[in-house]
């Protein structure tokens, strides 16, 4: 018997016979295109059609010729390897599908559990896009047959938006073109317009590739940070807002975009910038990926290379009172740190605190002066010097610091569901003790992405489709749940109930706030407010203008409120 569970996204809902309800066509239904129709599509493409399989299938007899089981398991935490596999998601829970009766369809990496290997949540066919024409052909085919479409680049998706059972996959991972222009002029700009030192990155470029290219040109580009750098530079990261360890100094990703190229639902290939398709340009900067069209490239402004200083700190807490005091000091300091150009990432529990913060063009002496009062207070509170470790380290460039802190593998291959909230600068500054006490009440602790404030707060909240709550925030507070493959549905449901309760806790320190579209949950009571704020009505209008037939849909994205939870059938 297969294990039973409940997956919030993956409940296939179908209309009663004779009903007028519109539903997408799925691969296990009679409406699915015939082999000859797929053959016709294939003749229009630069590459053969792909047939994604569960990566773990190599571990099940009969052996899958696509790989060796030992290789699959050894590369499970390696994002760079996994992003090259069409059927792989960076968080493996999204490779599984749960029916509404609780039966799980999956191919577990732990093959010793004794369950069969099934297709799970992975589409059975798709297009490996290498050209604009490939994308246009795929979009046209999906439109003609009214298929459920998923757009997948890296699969680095915490909400499962880049895969779906029965869907047709458009895989953009191999659109790897990178170009640099010292005097880039946006398309359609009038004479004598400003020029930019800019990189144009294809949809499949990942941040480790973009950073290396920028370093070769002695430039700095604002991008995402993760171990191994496997996050895509031109997909969901930027369309969801794009936070960075450089954000306090240079702003978010959406604040640094100059131009997009996009294939629309009609198949038209367009440019969106401040001179052409301005409404689309506005929406693509924070209005959520997979919603308005297929982004084929993004052009980013760049900055001069500056020296970078990193400050790392570890504190062991011998009591909850010490944890409360240290955390209060840290939260109180965040607004002034961001104003000084510092950003970073921290982990906080009742027993320990770790933090990594960086700033550009700051000397070691200046860094020590900035943190000295905080460090002195922590030492006074903690008492035991062996419970504190502080390291301040200079680097010649951001790229050097990035390689030092984020090379290697990790952050992928596990099971994770997140809940999160933006922490306002006002709350951190005025009530740090409340923030500390509330956060420390969360069992298992939180991750704090200190990536707002500073330059982020100086941008007009209405300049892009991004949730305006970002402009008042100083950090993103994240917690979550995980479980092992084969966990029973009752256990998973209890974990999810706990996560939902933790979200209620975070709401107490982020009243009327929002969160980051890319690092969040499916437990939102009002996703339109939480993800998009006051911008949702305008984003919905733009969505209707460019995709009136809802070819592009993602869970809790703009326009998804017109569809059921499976995103397969319209509600009206």
CA–CA separation, 340 and 424 (whole Å): 17
Among residues 34, 114, 110, 127, which one has the least CA distance to residue 72? Answer: 110
| Overall residue count recorded for the chain in this entry | 572
Query: What values do phi and psi take at 215, rounded to 5?
Result: -60, -40
Among residues 344, 353, 260, which one has the least CA distance to residue 315? Answer: 353
C-alpha angle 328-330-331 in degrees, rounded to nearest 5: 70
Among residues 317, 285, 280, 292, which one has the least CA distance to residue 460? Answer: 285
Q: What is the largest CA-CA distance in the chain?
A: 75
Specify whether the CB–CB gap between 185 and 266 falls below 8 A: no
Among residues 106, 111, 130, 132, which one has the least CA distance to residue 53? Answer: 106
Among residues 93, 87, 120, which one has the least CA distance to residue 104? Answer: 120
Q: Is the dihedral of CA 333, 336, 340, 344 positive or negative?
A: positive
Element holding 98 (H helix, E strand): strand 97-98
Among residues 21, 532, 545, 561, which one has the least CA distance to residue 239? Answer: 532
CA–CA separation, 430 and 417 (whole Å): 31
The backbone region for 288, taken as left when phi is positive above 0, alpha when psi lies in -120 to 50, beta otherwise, is left
The count of other CB atoms within 10 Å of the CB of residue 180 is: 15
Sequence-separated (6 or more) residues with CB below 8 Å from residue 144: none
Specify whether the CB–CB gap between 357 and 314 falls below 8 A: no
- CATH number of 35-171: 3.30.70.270, 3.30.360.10, 3.40.50.10860, 3.30.43.10? 3.30.43.10
Q: Where are the domains of the chain?
A: 35-171, 178-305, 308-533
Please name the residue ranges forming H helices in 514-560.
Answer: 527, 536-546
Specify whether the CB–CB gap between 91 and 415 falls below 8 A: yes
pLDDT at 411: 84
Read off the tokens for 533: 């704020």
pLDDT at 67: 61
SS (H, E, C) 401-421: HHHHHHCCCCCCCCCCEEEEE
Average pLDDT per run of 10 along the chain, which is 572 residues long?
35 45 95 98 98 95 70 94 96 94 93 94 98 98 98 94 97 98 98 96 98 98 96 97 97 98 98 98 98 98 98 97 97 97 97 97 96 96 95 97 92 94 96 96 95 98 98 97 91 91 91 92 92 98 97 97 96 86
CA–CA separation, 128 and 407 (whole Å): 28
CA–CA separation, 327 and 373 (whole Å): 14
CA–CA separation, 163 and 152 (whole Å): 7
Specify whether the CB–CB gap between 97 and 106 falls below 8 A: yes
pLDDT at 522: 87
Strands, DSSP E only, in 330-429?
343-348, 352-360, 388-395, 417-424
pLDDT at 20: 64
CA–CA separation, 564 and 21 (whole Å): 11
Specify whether the CB–CB gap between 82 and 412 falls below 8 A: yes
3-state helix, strand, coil in the chain (%, to 5): 35, 20, 45
Specify whether the CB–CB gap between 203 and 295 falls below 8 A: yes
CATH class of 178-305: alpha beta
Query: DSSP label at 301?
Result: E
CA–CA separation, 273 and 288 (whole Å): 17
CA–CA separation, 318 and 128 (whole Å): 53
Among residues 316, 405, 326, which one has the least CA distance to residue 358? Answer: 405
Among residues 263, 266, 225, 269, which one has the least CA distance to residue 243? Answer: 225
Classify residue 369 as exposed, middle or buried by CB count within 10 Å of its CB (0-12, 13-18, 19+): exposed
Classify domain 308-533 by CATH architecture.
3-Layer(aba) Sandwich (3.40)
């Amino acid at each position: 018997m297969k294990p039973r569970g409940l997956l919030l996204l993956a409940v296939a809902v179908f209309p009663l016979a004779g009903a007028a309800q519109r539903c997408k066509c799925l691969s296990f239904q009679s409406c699915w295109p015939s082999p000859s129709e797929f053959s016709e599509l294939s003749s229009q493409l630069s590459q053969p059609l792909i047939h994604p399989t569960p990566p773990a299938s190599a571990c099940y007899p009969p052996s899958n010729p696509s790989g060796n089981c030992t290789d699959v398991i050894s590369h499970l935490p390696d994002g760079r390897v996994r992003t090259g596999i069409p059927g792989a998601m960076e968080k493996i829970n999204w490779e599984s599908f749960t029916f509404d009766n609780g039966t799980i369809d999956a191919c577990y990496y732990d093959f010793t559990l004794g369950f069969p290997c099934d297709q799970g949540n992975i589409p059975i066919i798709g297009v490996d896009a290498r050209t604009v024409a490939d994308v246009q052909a795929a979009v046209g085919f999906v439109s003609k047959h009214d298929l459920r479409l998923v757009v997948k680049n890296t699969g680095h998706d915490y909400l499962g938006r880049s895969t779906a059972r029965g869907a047709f996959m458009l895989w953009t991972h191999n659109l790897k073109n990178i170009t640099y222009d010292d005097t880039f002029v946006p398309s359609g700009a009038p004479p004598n317009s400003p020029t930019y030192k800019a990189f144009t990155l294809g949809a499949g470029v990942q941040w480790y590739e973009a950073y290396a290219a920028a370093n070769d040109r002695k430039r700095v580009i604002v991008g995402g940070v993760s171990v191994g750098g496997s996050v895509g530079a031109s997909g969901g990261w930027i369309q969801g807002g794009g936070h960075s360890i450089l954000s306090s100094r240079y702003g978010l990703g959406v604040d640094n975009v100059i131009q997009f190229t996009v294939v629309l639902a009609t198949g038209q290939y367009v440019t969106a910038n401040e001179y052409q398709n301005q409404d689309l340009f506005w929406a693509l900067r924070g209005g959520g990926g997979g919603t308005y069209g297929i982004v084929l490239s993004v052009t980013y402004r760049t900055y001069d290379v500056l020296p970078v200083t990193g400050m790392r700190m570890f504190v062991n807490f011998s009591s909850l009172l010490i944890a409360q005091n240290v955390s209060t000091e840290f939260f109180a300091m965040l607004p002034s740190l961001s104003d000084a150009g510092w950003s970073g990432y921290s982990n906080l529990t009742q027993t320990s605190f770790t933090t990594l913060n960086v700033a550009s063009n700051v000397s070691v002496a200046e860094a020590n002066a900035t943190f000295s009062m905080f460090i002195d207070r922590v030492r006074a509170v903690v008492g035991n010097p062996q419970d504190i470790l502080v390291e301040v380290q200079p680097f010649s460039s951001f790229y050097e610091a990035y390689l030092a802190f984020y090379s290697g593998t990790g952050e992928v291959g596990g099971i994770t569901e997140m809940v999160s909230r933006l922490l306002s600068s006002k709350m951190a500054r005025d009530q740090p003790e409340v923030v500390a006490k509330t956060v420390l009440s969360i069992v298992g602790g939180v991750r704090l992405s200190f990536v707002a404030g500073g330059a982020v707060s100086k941008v007009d909240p209405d300049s892009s489709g991004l949730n305006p709550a970002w402009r008042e925030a100083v950090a993103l507070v994240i917690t979550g749940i995980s479980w092992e493959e084969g966990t029973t549905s009752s256990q998973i449901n209890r974990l999810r109930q706990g996560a939902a309760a933790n979200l209620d806790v975070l709401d107490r320190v982020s009243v009327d706030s929002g969160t980051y579209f890319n690092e969040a949950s499916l437990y939102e009571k009002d996703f339109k407010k939480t993800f998009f704020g006051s911008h949702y009505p305008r984003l919905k209008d733009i969505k209707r203008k460019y995709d009136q037939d809802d070819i592009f849909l993602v869970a809790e994205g703009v326009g998804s409120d017109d569809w059921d939870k499976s995103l397969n059938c319209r509600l009206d």
